[in-house]
Amino acid sequence: MRRIITRGIAAVGAVALLALGTACSNDREGSTSSGGDAKGFDKDALIGVALPAKTSENWVLAGDLFTNGLKQAGFKADVQYAGASTAVADQQAQISSMVTKGAKVIVIGATDASQLSTQVAQARQAGATVIAYDRLITNTPDVDYYVAFDNFKVGQLQGQALLDGMKAKKPKGPWTVELFSGSPDDNNSKVFFDGAMSVLKPLIDKGDIVVGSGQKDIKQTAIQGWKAENAQQRMDSLLTSTYHGAKKLDGVLSPNDTLARAIITSVKGAGKPVPVVTGQDSEVESVKSIMAGEQYSTINKDTRKLVAETVNMVKSLQKGAKPQINDTKSYNNGTKVVPAYLLPPVIVTKQNAAEAYASDPKLSALTK
Ligand code: BGC
């Protein structure tokens, strides 16, 4: 029950959320065929892919992989990114235009989880199937499927890595840490944070882990837009307010690699030793940093696999078949439980990097 709530939207009361989710998912039984899956569609149909701004390397990779993967499968592909400063409006317009052009499936990596209900309703009304990619779309019945890495698990792995890294340097606590989380408009941010806190909170409650600044609430830890400069600024001010003199910082929970590197830059700029810093995405610069013994960990979420699974879903829909899903309970978007296909994330530290990236020529070259 907890996991259903933690992975869905935060603002609704738990009981109301569950009741609503159950009611709506029952109401919609069988109605997912308002997307294309009951009838199928032409083999060379147009497939729309609306991605957010390029806030991390995984989004850059996804665009090319979708363009090539969909073309290879015989489809026409319309792959669009939202711009950095007008991302929500861009994405809304891009999805509407995909609907107008007659896209049969629209794959969406949402810029803002809660700002797409009008556009996905339009898509569904036009007979398109809507797939939420990597990030859930919230507060709408009009999302058919979700394909992502298990985001709660990502958070758990980050929390555990933070602890393991600190223990390796200093076997006994208490350890002093700071907590960072992702952009509040991305539904994943809270799920990552909740996953990490499921590991860290019991230790914080016991006093084994101390959050130096006292900033433990997700509202205090959030980094708007997943922007490196915002993370660097927050770390700069935490160092000034809390870590003057000899006060030691043992670890920082960072939700991804872009923010991890910004945090490390800030700490080094202040002339402090680099603490244990977690990450996510296996970005090239972070893998280099891990191999150099600076950033402690990252997460391998192989974008090639995630895109391939999404393209498989599109192929099933084209044939009029039900796409493969492996989770029907975890992702309540506030209106319905969205059937999901979840892939397992892998934690990576210097110790297992060579093994973890063995099948990725670009990253494995960095571990040699
Ligand atoms: C993705 C992360 C990524 C972040 C910022 C999240 O929704 O799941 O992999 O680091 O967006 O782009």
Domains of the chain: 14-143+302-343 (3.40.50.2300), 152-300 (3.40.50.2300)
Report which of 25, 61, 53 is spatially closest to residue 112, judged by C-alpha positions.
53
What's the CA angle centered on 141, arms 139 and 146, to 5 degrees? 85
Mean pLDDT across 73-86? 94
Lowest mean pLDDT among 82-86, 92-96, 163-167: 82-86
* Ligand 1 center–CA 187 separation, angstroms: 10
Residue 24: predicted pLDDT = 35
Q: pLDDT per residue over 239-285, tens digit each?
A: 999 998 889 999 999 999 999 999 999 999 999 999 999 999 999 99
Q: Is the pLDDT of residue 226 over 80?
A: yes
Lowest mean pLDDT among 28-32, 104-108, 127-131, 278-282: 28-32
Percentage of the chain modeled with pLDDT above 70: 90
Chain mean pLDDT for the chain:
91
User: Which ligand 1 atom sits closest to the C-alpha of 149?
Assistant: 8
Residue 246: predicted pLDDT = 87
Cβ–Cβ < 8 Å for 277, 295? yes
Q: Is the pLDDT of residue 27 over 70?
A: no
Q: Where are the beta strands (DSSP E) in 86-226?
A: 105-108, 129-133, 145-149, 175-179, 209-211
Q: Is the pLDDT of residue 170 over 60?
A: yes
127 secondary structure, DSSP code: T
Residue 7: predicted pLDDT = 67
Coil, helix or strand at residue 297: strand
User: Which ligand 1 atom sits closest to the C-alpha of 192?
Assistant: 8
Cβ–Cβ < 8 Å for 229, 223? no
Q: Which of 188, 230, 305 to mutate to test the pocket of ligand 1 (most atoms within 8 A of CB)?
A: 188
